[in-house]
Amino acid sequence: MKGKVLDITQSDAIVSLNDGSTMDISLSKLPIHINIGDMVDIPFSTLESLNNNVFNHDTLGNNKIVDFF
């Protein structure tokens, strides 16, 4: 899916997708040396692929109970 870079932070880029939605994507998933205004190819075909846990390696899992006291 193609998108246009709207803003870049130290670790993420805000990308406007072709369908009108906006996404915060890690810079590690995008080509190096991108600039604001560049068109990028996002490495997934549909937003449903994100919702269906296709990118499990991109999510944090915490299935342990932590005792803070």
pLDDT at 52 over 80: no
Q: What is the pTM of this model?
A: 0.60
Contact yes or no for 26/12 (Cβ under 8 A): yes
Cα–Cα dist 67/22, whole Å: 37
Phi, psi torsion values for 18, nearest 5 degrees: -60, -30
* Banded pLDDT at 56 (limits 50, 70, 90): very low
| Local confidence band at 20 (pLDDT 50, 70, 90 cut-offs) | confident
pLDDT tens digits along 28-44:
888 888 999 999 987 66
Residue boundaries of the structural domains of the chain: 2-46
